[in-house]
Amino acid sequence: MKKILKVFKTLFLTCIILAFVVSMSIFVYHKYQLSEESELIKSKETLVEINDRKINVYSEGKGKDTYVFMAGSGIAAPLYEMKGLYSKFSKEHKIAVVERAGYGYSNVSHDKRDIDTILEQTRESLILSGNKPPYILVPHSLSGLEAIYWAQKYPEEVKGIIALDIGLPEEYANYEMSLADSFTIRGMNVLTRIGFHRLFPSATYDPEVVRQSFLTVQEKEVFKAISYKQAFNNDMKQELLQNNKNAKKSVKLPIPVETPILFLSAYTDENKNATYTKQKVENYKQLADQLETAEVKEVKGRHSIYLYAPEEIYNLSVNFINEKVENDERPK
């Protein structure tokens, strides 16, 4: 028995030492790569300073309306990943891409990421970069929570919302994160700080961005470099840990009934009949029924629908704004 225990002890210690050596090797390689990639990602964009933290706001195009693009959770390089969509809008409209703290060229804030802080940083960064309200918000996924909260708190600043497969406040508020979920999120944060994500490129960034042609070869390299740098950092971790509390702040406020919203629900051939997909559309319709101006449209593509149907999204959005918002004669 003593011999068996000794063997197990030796194996255990060997595994611990091996894991430490592997982790340290990956960490050193990750730091080396970050140093090499730093020249690629020197910001040429508009960085504005808010409470000693820099937020990046990229603007292009001209027009009466400013479409504000807001990336979903974990989209490490929004300026590059969403280019295929916002470049269609900027041909005839002004656009702004806000890379909130921890994303793209913006600094990591290391705060708790409560929704009031996130929203005030977004609002202030837009003003400081020369983009004045009202805005047409184009949120994706988790950013839908911020967009709806924005319309609830400052309805005069939100002309409309183009909701790209967003999560609704009530959905996030009803989902209580389990201890296992919390540990998973914190564990992923630790692993990316060490650099393990470099072993799994397709989990670090969406390969579809690289496969498509809306980025130049140089931009694709910058996109990958930013993704490796910002992957699941502290701000992204905190966003997920706080989304339940943030959503509860939103559901306590009145629904923004006067804010026009176009809900675009993503589906694929594989999941179009899934319970989740049908329930998502139903939830959108239930909220739309409570709004004065709203539509629900289904768009074929994966969750990141801006990569799969940019032309359709652009046409649906412009038609909605022109027909349902610009022609709306309701008194404000």
DSSP H or E segment with residue 324? none
Would you place residue 332 in the very low, low, confident or very high pLDDT band (cuts 50, 70, 90)? very low
As its CATH architecture, domain 46-325 has 3-Layer(aba) Sandwich (3.40)
Average pLDDT over residues 105-130: 95
What pLDDT sits at residue 12?
76
pLDDT at 331 over 60: no
b/e per residue, 105-144, with b = 16+ CB within 10 A?
bbbbbebebebebbbebbbebbeebebeeebbbbbbbbbb
Residue 198 CB partners (closer than 8 Å, separation 6+) = 26, 29, 30, 33, 204, 228
b/e per residue, 213-244, with b = 16+ CB within 10 A?
ebbeeeebebbbbbbbbbbbbbbbbbbbbbbe
Nearest Cα to 86, choosing from 99, 68, 73?
A: 68
pTM above 0.85, yes or no: yes
Residues 88-105: tens digit of each pLDDT: 999 999 999 999 999 999
Residues 195-238: tens digit of each pLDDT: 999 999 999 999 999 999 999 999 999 999 999 999 999 999 99
DSSP H or E segment with residue 250? helix 234-251
Residues 237-268: tens digit of each pLDDT: 999 999 999 999 999 999 999 999 999 999 99
Average pLDDT over residues 298-314: 97
pLDDT at 330 over 80: no
DSSP 128-180: HTT-PSPEEEEEBTTHHHHHHHHHHH-GGGEEEEEEESPPPHHHHHH-PPPHH
